[in-house]
Chain A
Amino acid sequence: DAKTTQPPSMDCAEGRAANLPCNHSTISGNEYVYWYRQIHSQGPQYIIHGLKNNETNEMASLIITEDRKSSTLILPHATLRDTAVYYCIVRSLGGGNEKLTFGTGTRLTIIP
């Protein structure tokens, strides 16, 4: 499985866009990029995923570089409720190897 690298922590001012980077330089062609977040000690919450193209939903946007070796999660207008740990993971298309590992993520703090 491809490994991911994220900065351990980031701050963002409330109302601004939060841009969270993820490096997945060993990603293979059949692997999706997923983003989850975990608020306090709750179960992780799914945010968005993509394969090649940029994606947007009601929560966030996902920008994947053309070579697919890195991606950025964008929270367009961060609120205090977005303070959480954000995890970037990769998952194979076929689901053959489901040993999904989450790493330590990025702790995002939204500052009032």
Chain B
Amino acid sequence: NAGVTQTPKFQVLKTGQSMTLQCAQDMNHNSMYWYRQDPGMGLRLIYYSASEGTTDKGEVPNGYNVSRLNKREFSLRLESAAPSQTSVYFCASSQKGGGSPLHFGNGTRLTVT
């Protein structure tokens, strides 16, 4: 089992460019999440998907879009990258409900110049 896989691991973009961060899980989890982490700060929720076909905004959704492609995959898109979006992005998945821990990927380190 790979768990939660994120691609790419590293990315450098110029301001205004677009890109999609990919996330896939092989644990048959219902819920998936995208977080960002900036230096010295905790994780902030961007978007989440409680189940296939549904998505909802988190704490910091502006500048991002998401797609829950199927049960396994949850992608995060930056339409027009800005330097403020330089961050480490983590994808996570879990079964729905309080008794189920989140499993995290190893992150995508994005720099926008």
Contact = CB atoms under 8 A, between A and B. Distances in A.
A100 B46 CA distance: 10
B98 interface: yes
Interface stretch (B14-22, B62-70, B78-86, B99-107): B99-107
B99 A93 contact: yes
Interface of A is mostly: loop
Given A42-B106, A98-B50, A103 B42 contact: yes
B48 interface: yes
Nearest to A46: B101
Contacts of A91: 98
A31 B105 CA distance: 24
Interface residues of A, number: 27
B74 interface: no
Contacts of B112: none
Contacts of B96: 95, 98
Contacts of A25: none
A43 B106 contact: yes
A93 B100 CA distance: 9
